[in-house]
Chain A
């Protein structure tokens, strides 16, 4: 693999794992406080206070919610980590797009931008490198988010094409004047390595990513 692409991939891997570790830390901080609250309630009971069963149930339910959230984060992380297992495989593009959007959700949230996915009605399979394609999508999202205003929306679409798929990344509302920067060198290198056509969408201020099985 090209050294530049390897480096771009490592940077991507680092950013995603850093973001995931922040999310997990947030869940753990809440679970830690919930455990602390149980200790507070136990201490009160030891001192002769009445045990509030409804409150205990509420804390127990809240812990379960946080564990479920943590589990979802870890499942996404696991899928992401395994995306590097096979250099080239048949990839479910809709599913990969959804996973990338989930991984980028925190980045979007920090910018105050809403990520909206319209995965399309049809299942789309393309033979490609899942890790590199996710890296390319991440770079597109990162660039789009860097110029998006807080409160705005980024729309991700996926459409089946004659011999492949087209992913769209653009701003809402359509037609509004957007100033997306030109694709970076890293983005162009990745597109070239994947044999992907990266077309700037002047109207929507984003890109259309065209890939084929050919």
Chain B
């Protein structure tokens, strides 16, 4: 099954071409032009990774990252930015981002990160399921 990512950027031209190129690499890509719309989508759909532009109208990328992780703790978030600073990068990682990439991004590297994001997510989901089973067994005194 293909990796499924949600790509969020207010530049529609950027979204269109990234979708075309990532799709050609076997990655299923959904796009949104605002973080608000993306967060609504995360509530109802499952994605392996969320790729977020850091600066967008409305809520910024870091705030969107916080809200996305609250909704889906297992979701892997990669931040894309025009100008990466160490401070922003550290802040993003502290908030649970998987990676922080400066534009223009190397598409092969980004594709690899998306594949790794899916593996990370699966490990987290597996761990969460194990914890649920242990908790259930504990409740029943087993």
Contact = CB atoms under 8 A, between A and B. Distances in A.
Interface in A5-37: 18, 21-22, 25-26, 28-30, 32-34, 36-37
A29 B55 contact: no
Interface in B45-96: 55-58, 82-83
Contacts of B56: 110
Contacts, number: 55
Contacts of B17: 30, 33-34, 37, 62
Q: How large is the interface on B (under 10, 10 to 19, 20 to 34, 35 or more residues)?
A: 10 to 19
A28 B58 CA distance: 23
A86 interface: no
B105 interface: yes
Nearest to B25: A40
Contacts of A29: 11, 14, 82, 103-105
Contacts of A33: 14, 17-18, 21, 104, 107
Contacts of B137: none
A102 interface: no
B88 to A, nearest CB: 13
B14 to A, nearest CB: 5
Interface in A130-182: 150
Interface in B1-34: 10-11, 13-14, 17-18, 20-21, 24
A14 B105 CA distance: 25
- Most chain B CB within 10 A, of A28, A33, A36, A66, is at A33
Contacts of A28: 103-104
Main DSSP-derived SS at the B contact region:
loop
B58 A37 contact: no
A52 to B, nearest CB: 12
A70 interface: no
A18 B82 CA distance: 11
Nearest to A150: B58
Contacts of B21: 33, 36-37, 40
A25 B13 contact: no
B57 A150 contact: yes
A22 B13 contact: no
A40 B24 CA distance: 9
A46 to B, nearest CB: 15
A128 to B, nearest CB: 33
A134 B113 CA distance: 44
B83 A26 contact: no
Interface of B: 10-11, 13-14, 17-18, 20-21, 24, 55-58, 82-83, 103-105, 107
